[in-house]
C-alpha cells in the first residue's frame, strides 16, 4: 500500500477541535460555502474553483494522477490549502468486483461483507479515493425496485448487522490509515418503500413503522461510528428527505447524537422544486440547509443562494460554521491535512491473488440453491460425456459484474463458460450456445442451436437471468419474471428431455413459478462479480457445498408484492384450512365459501421461497429446542438452544437462524422477527448444539407514544434453517417489583 505524502499543515497529534476552529476563523464566507459544495469531475472551471477555495469535494474522479493534480491545486494554490474529499460509488468493489450487496447479504456473514468492503477500500484508496457512498441500508421489500440490488435485503436485524460490518470494512480501525475510506449511510430514510417499486417515488411510512423497521439499520451504523450520511431523494410523508428537518435534525442529530456531515443525493436540492415542496431554488437551498444538509452533491444551489439567505437573516452564520466544521473534522479524521497526495498505484494492490480469492469465496457463499430435484447436483465430470452450456449470461464478463461496478472490467472477469471448460478440461465435451442475443431478446432466433446441443448432451446448464442494466438505480421493473424469451428457451430445452440445471444471475428476486417444474436444479447466483465463474463452477461440481440463504422473500407472483416474512398477523390471517383457490372451484359458489382471510384468490398466500431459505447438498435436522428459563425478569438474558445434525453425506455449512414473536403488544407486532444467526460447519453425521443469548433489551420496540421499550408478556421463539421453520418453544418476560416502581 503506498504512503500518502504532502506538506504538513499540523502535527498528527494536534487537537481536532482547536485546529478546525482556528481554520474556520480564517475562512471567508465564500470559502465556507465552498467546503459545502461537491462538484462532479467534469464541472466547468473545476480547477479555477478549487484554486479559489470554492470546492470541498470532487466526485467521480478515479485517476490517481488527476486526483493528485486536483489535491495539489487545493493544497498549494488555494489560499488556505484545504484538501479535497474525493468521492466515488465504491459499492461492491473497485477493480475487484464482489457480488452485489444483495448477494453479499445472502452469505449471512459479517466477516465476508467486512472483508469485501476492506478490499474495496484498499483498491480505491490506492487511486486517491477517500469517500464512498455505501452502504445502502434501505430496507427493501419490493423486488420491482431496481435498487434492491444495492440493498442488504428486507430485514432490519440482518441489514443492521451486515451494514455495520460493511462500515467497519471501509473505515478500518482508524480512518486516517492510508487504506481506509469514509463510509456513507444512505438513503436516509425510507427510500426502499418507494410506491410501486418505482425509483425516486413517494414513500408514506407511519412513524411507528419508520422507527421499528426502516430506521434501525441507520441507528446501528450511526452508533458504529459511520463518517457520513446521505439524505434520500424521496418524499417522506409529504416532506422530501432532503428538506426534512424532523428527520435530519430531530432524529439524526438530537436523538441519535450523530455529529458527522450529511450530504445530499445527486442534485436532490433543486429537486425540492420539482417535488412541489419549494417554489424556487433559493427556497430549496433554505429548506435543505435549514434541515441539516451540510454538503450539496453535483448541483450549485448553495454556491448561488446561501449568501443571500444569510444576508436576509434566513440562515445564520453560526449554522454555516457548524456545518462547515463537520466537513473539516471529517477531513481531519481522514488525515488529509497531513497526507493528501497518493503515490502511483501499486500494481500488487488491484486484483491481486488475495483479493480475487476472497471475491471467489464471497460469490461461493452468496449463491443460494433453490431446487435440487433427485440430487441432480452436484455434477460429476466422471459421469458426463457431453455438457451443454446455454444462455446469454454464460460467457459475458461484463454482465456478471452487476450494477454499480463502474471501475470493474469485463476483461478481468472469469465467466462460467471459461471456468467450466477449465475445470473439466478434456474429460467432458463442452458445447456452448448463447441461445439468445441478450437476456431481453424477444425472439427465438438462437433456439435451434441450443436445442441441438442440449439434445446431444447428458446435462444442460442454462445460465440466464437479468443483464446488469435491468437492476440498479432507475432500473425498476413492473414484472420480475425472466425477461425476454427466456421462459420459452427453457421450455424448448425441457422438450429435449435433457436434465436442466438453471443458474440465474440477477439483481433482484425473480418470479420463477412458471418454469420451476421444467428444471431439475436452480442455483441463484445474483450478480456474482469478477470471480463468479469459478465460484459457480465449483458449486455445480461439488467442490463447494451451497450455503447461501435468501436475504429477501421470493414471491410466487408479482401481485403478492410487497411480501415479506415479518408481516403483521391481521385479524383474519390465512391458513391452509381457510385458503380457497378460486381456480379449483368448478361451479358457482356463494361468497361465504371463499375463505374470508387475508389472501389472494388466485395465488397461494405463501411465498415461493421464504426469507432465509437455501438448500444444501446435505440435509440438516433441527431438534431439541429449549430455553434456559421459561420466566425471564426484565433486564436479564436467557439462552435458547437447539441441536443441529448433518444427516446427509456432504460436509457443509449451515446458517442457523433465531426468530421470535411478541404475541401481544401495545402496537401490533410482526409474526416473526429475526434476532440472531450463526454460520456453522458440520461434517457428515456431526451434531452441534447452537446456543443464542437474548437480552430482554433486544425485544424492545417503539410503542404508541414512540417510546422504545420492552413490554412484558409471552414470546414464541424458533430456531431453524429459514423463516418458515416450525421448531419452536416459548418464554415469558415479566416485570419485577423494582421495574414496576420505575
Phi, psi at 75, each rounded to 5°: -85, -40
Comparing CA positions, the residue from 101, 95, 102 lying closest to residue 119 is 95
What is d(CA 693, CA 685) in angstroms, rounded to the nearest whole number? 26
Is 363-540 in the same CATH topology as 28-333? no
- The predicted pLDDT at position 240 comes to 98
What is d(CA 531, CA 328) in angstroms, rounded to the nearest whole number? 39
Helix axes 281-291, 317-333, angle to 10 degrees: 60
Q: Which CATH superfamily is domain 620-741 in?
A: Immunoglobulins (2.60.40.10)
- 19 membership: H or E segment, kind and range: helix 16-26
What is d(CA 317, CA 465) in angstroms, rounded to the nearest whole number? 54
- Cell numbers describing residue 354: 488475495
Cα distances (angstroms) measured from residue 273 to each of 278, 490, 552, 658: 5, 48, 35, 46
* Separation of CA 436 from chain center: 30
In the chain, domain spans: 28-333, 363-540, 573-606, 620-741
Domain boundaries 363-540, corresponding CATH code: 3.40.50.1700
What is d(CA 421, CA 461) in angstroms, rounded to the nearest whole number? 13
Task: With H, G, I as helix, E, B as strand and everything else as coil, classify residue 127.
Answer: coil
Which residues of the chain have a pLDDT value below 50? 1-13, 741-742
- The predicted pLDDT at position 579 comes to 79
Letter string b/e over residues 262-276, b meaning 16 or more CB atoms within 10 A of that residue's CB: bbbbbbbbbbbbebe
- At which residue does the C-alpha cell 437551498 appear? 285
Task: With H, G, I as helix, E, B as strand and everything else as coil, classify residue 621.
Answer: strand
- The predicted pLDDT at position 342 comes to 85
- The predicted pLDDT at position 264 comes to 98
| Residues classed as catalytic | 265
* Separation of CA 61 from chain center: 24
Domain boundaries 28-333, corresponding CATH code: 3.20.20.300
- Cα atoms in the Cβ-side hemisphere of radius 13 Å centred on 299: 19
Cα distances (angstroms) measured from residue 734 to each of 537, 628, 703: 52, 15, 17
* Separation of CA 92 from chain center: 9
- The predicted pLDDT at position 399 comes to 98
Cα distances (angstroms) measured from residue 324 to each of 36, 54, 55, 242: 7, 12, 12, 18
- Cell numbers describing residue 88: 466515488
DSSP string, 179-219: T--B-EEEEETTGGG-GGG-TT--B---HHHIIIIISHHHH
Amino acid at each position: 500500500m503506498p504512503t500518502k505524502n504532502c506538506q504538513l499543515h499540523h502535527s498528527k497529534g494536534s487537537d481536532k477541535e482547536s485546529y478546525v476552529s482556528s481554520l474556520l476563523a480564517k475562512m471567508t464566507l465564500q470559502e465556507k460555502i465552498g467546503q459545502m459544495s461537491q462538484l462532479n469531475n467534469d464541472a466547468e472551471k473545476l480547477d479555477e474553483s478549487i484554486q479559489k477555495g470554492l470546492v470541498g469535494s470532487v466526485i467521480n474522479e478515479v485517476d490517481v494522477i488527476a486526483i493528485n493534480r486536483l489535491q495539489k491545486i487545493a493544497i498549494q494554490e488555494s489560499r488556505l490549502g484545504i484538501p479535497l474529499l474525493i468521492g466515488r460509488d465504491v459499492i461492491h468493489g473497485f477493480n475487484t468486483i464482489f457480488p452485489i450487496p444483495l448477494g453479499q447479504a445472502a452469505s449471512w456473514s459479517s466477516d465476508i461483507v467486512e472483508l469485501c468492503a476492506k478490499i474495496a477500500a484498499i483498491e480505491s484508496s490506492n487511486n486517491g479515493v477517500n469517500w464512498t457512498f455505501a452502504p445502502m441500508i434501505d430496507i427493501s421489500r419490493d423486488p420491482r425496485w431496481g435498487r434492491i440490488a444495492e440493498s442488504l435485503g428486507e430485514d432490519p436485524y440482518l441489514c443492521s448487522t451486515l451494514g455495520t460490518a460493511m462500515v467497519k470494512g471501509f473505515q478500518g480501525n482508524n480512518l486516517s490509515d492510508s487504506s481506509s475510506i469514509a463510509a456513507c449511510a444512505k438513503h436516509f430514510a425510507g427510500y426502499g418503500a418507494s410506491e410501486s417499486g418505482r425509483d425516486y417515488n413517494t414513500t408514506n411510512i407511519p412513524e411507528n413503522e419508520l422507527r421499528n423497521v426502516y430506521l434501525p439499520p441507520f441507528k446501528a451504523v450511526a452508533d458504529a461510528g459511520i463518517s457520513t450520511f446521505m439524505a434520500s431523494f424521496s418524499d417522506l410523508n409529504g416532506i422530501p428527505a432532503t428538506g426534512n428537518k424532523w428527520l435530519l435534525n430531530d432524529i439524526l442529530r438530537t436523538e441519535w447524537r450523530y455529529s458527522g456531515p450529511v450530504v445530499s443525493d445527486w442534485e436532490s436540492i433543486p429537486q425540492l422544486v420539482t417535488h412541489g415542496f419549494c417554489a424556487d431554488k433559493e427556497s430549496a437551498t433554505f429548506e435543505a440547509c435549514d434541515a441539516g444538509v451540510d454538503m450539496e452533491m453535483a448541483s450549485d444551489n448553495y454556491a448561488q443562494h446561501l449568501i443571500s439567505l444569510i444576508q436576509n437573516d434566513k440562515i445564520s452564520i453560526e449554522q454555516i460554521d457548524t456545518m462547515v466544521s463537520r466537513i473539516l473534522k471529517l477531513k481531519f479524521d481522514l488525515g488529509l491535512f497531513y497526507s493528501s497526495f497518493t503515490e502511483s498505484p501499486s500494481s500488487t494492490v488491484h486484483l491481486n491473488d488475495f483479493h480475487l480469492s476472497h471475491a471467489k469465496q464471497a460469490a461461493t457463499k452468496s449463491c443460494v440453491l433453490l431446487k435440487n430435484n433427485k440430487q441432480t447436483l452436484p455434477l460429476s465430470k466422471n459421469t458426463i460425456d457431453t455438457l451443454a452450456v446455454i444462455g446469454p449470461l454464460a460467457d459475458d464478463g461484463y454482465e456478471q459484474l452487476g450494477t454499480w461496478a463502474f471501475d470493474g472490467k469485463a476483461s478481468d472477469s472469469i465467466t462460467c463458460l471459461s471456468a467450466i471448460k477449465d475445470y473439466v478440461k478434456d474429460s467432458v465435451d463442452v458445447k456452448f450456445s448463447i441461445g439468445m442475443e441478450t437476456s431481453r431478446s424477444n425472439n427465438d432466433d438462437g433456439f435451434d442451436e441450443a436445442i441441438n446441443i442440449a439434445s446431444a448432451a447428458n446435462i444442460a446448464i442454462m445460465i440466464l437471468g437479468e443483464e446488469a442494466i435491468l437492476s440498479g438505480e432507475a432500473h425498476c421493473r413492473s414484472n420480475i419474471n425472466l425477461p425476454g424469451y427466456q421462459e420459452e428457451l427453457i421450455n424448448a430445452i425441457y422438450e429435449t428431455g435433457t436434465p436442466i440445471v438453471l443458474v440465474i444471475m440477477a439483481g433482484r428476486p425473480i418470479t420463477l413459478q412458471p418454469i420451476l417444474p421444467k428444471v431439475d436444479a436452480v442455483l441463484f447466483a445474483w450478480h456474482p462479480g469478477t470471480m463468479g465463474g469459478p465460484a459457480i463452477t465449483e458449486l455445480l461440481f461439488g467442490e463447494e457445498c451451497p450455503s447461501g440463504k435468501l436475504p429477501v422473500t421470493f414471491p410466487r407472483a408479482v401481485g403478492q408484492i410487497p411480501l415479506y416474512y415479518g408481516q403483521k398477523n391481521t385479524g383474519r390471517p390465512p391458513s391452509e384450512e381457510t385458503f380457497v383457490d378460486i381456480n379449483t372451484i368448478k361451479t358457482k359458489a356463494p361468497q361465504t365459501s371463499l375463505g374470508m382471510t387475508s389472501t389472494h384468490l388466485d395465488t397461494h398466500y405463501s411465498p415461493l421461497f421464504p426469507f432465509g431459505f437455501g438448500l444444501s447438498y446435505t440435509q440438516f435436522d433441527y431438534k431439541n429446542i429449549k430455553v434456559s428459563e421459561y420466566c425471564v425478569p426484565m433486564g436479564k438474558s436467557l439462552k435458547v438452544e437447539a441441536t443441529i445434525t448433518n444427516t446427509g453425506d456432504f460436509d457443509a455449512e449451515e446458517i442457523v437462524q433465531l426468530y421470535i414473536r411478541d404475541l401481544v403488544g401495545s402496537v401490533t407486532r410482526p409474526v416473526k422477527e429475526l434476532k440472531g444467526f450463526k454460520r456453522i460447519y458440520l461434517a457428515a453425521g456431526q451434531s452441534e448444539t447452537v446456543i443464542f443469548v437474548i437480552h430482554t433489551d433486544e425485544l424492545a420496540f417503539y410503542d404508541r407514544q414512540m417510546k422504545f421499550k420492552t413490554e412484558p408478556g409471552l414470546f414464541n421463539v424458533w430456531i431453524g434453517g429459514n423463516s418458515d421453520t416450525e421448531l419452536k418453544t416459548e418464554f415469558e418476560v415479566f416485570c419485577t417489583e423494582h421495574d414496576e416502581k420505575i
